[in-house]
Chains A and B, each alone.
Chain A
């Protein structure tokens, strides 16, 4: 069974702090996606990383794909209350067609 382990599961921080969320697996992925989900809504794609070692930035969010394409991280600088939500990583493996493997998610709460 292919698994994506996310850590931490829960994170409660103050506005302005920095944080990092990790997504790890023993499997190699052809690409990895990060989604953000707000209460009462479905997940929405933030970014897709494809190349080992790739770094992508989306305003205060920095995404990195591990060199071996087995892990990824999401770093948020100066977190804002609007960053509150569930962050999900999802990996696409070579032999699974269109099927994404989702991590369990990291529930982030940013307090003003």
Chain B
């Protein structure tokens, strides 16, 4: 398996623009997680899905952030409009079952100017 795939790897955008981050989890994994990592706040869980259904979105910062999982092999995290404080590395991870090992993608480094 290719592991968790994320795209793009790097994104530079201007404040106010819409940003869409994409993730393909490992086939057969029922859980998908979106995290944000910064120096100041560390690794923060934004939202996670079980069998394509959002279970906990309490970590989503505000209404500018939204996430979808239309099928078992694809998820998106959208920021609209983006702000400079959204600059961070965003990771997608998947796991076979809840609480088991999480496999992380390589991350998307987002810079909002």
Contact = CB atoms under 8 A, between A and B. Distances in A.
Contacts of B100: 98
Contacts of A41: 104, 106-107
B99 A92 contact: yes
Contacts of A97: 50, 55-56, 98-99
B96 to A, nearest CB: 10
Given A98-B31, A98-B97, A98-B99, A42 B56 contact: no
A105 B42 contact: yes
Contact-residue bracket for chain B: 20 to 34
A100 B98 CA distance: 9
Contacts of A92: 99
Contact of A30 (B44, B48, B99): B99
DSSP class of B's interface residues: helix, strand, loop or mixed?
strand
A40 interface: yes
Contacts of A99: 45, 48, 55-56, 98
Interface residues of A, number: 21
Contacts of A30: 99
Nearest to B32: A98
A43 interface: yes
Given A31-B99, A43-B43, 8 more contacts: A43-B102, A88-B43, A97-B99, A98-B97, A99-B45, A99-B56, A100-B45, A100-B102
Interface of A: 30-31, 33, 40-45, 48, 88, 92, 96-100, 102-105
25 contacts: A33-B101, A33-B102, A40-B107, A41-B107, A42-B4, A42-B91, A43-B43, A43-B91, A43-B102, A45-B101, A45-B102, A48-B101, A97-B50, A97-B55, A97-B56, A97-B99, A98-B33, A98-B48, A98-B99, A99-B56, A100-B45, A102-B42, A102-B45, A104-B42, A105-B43
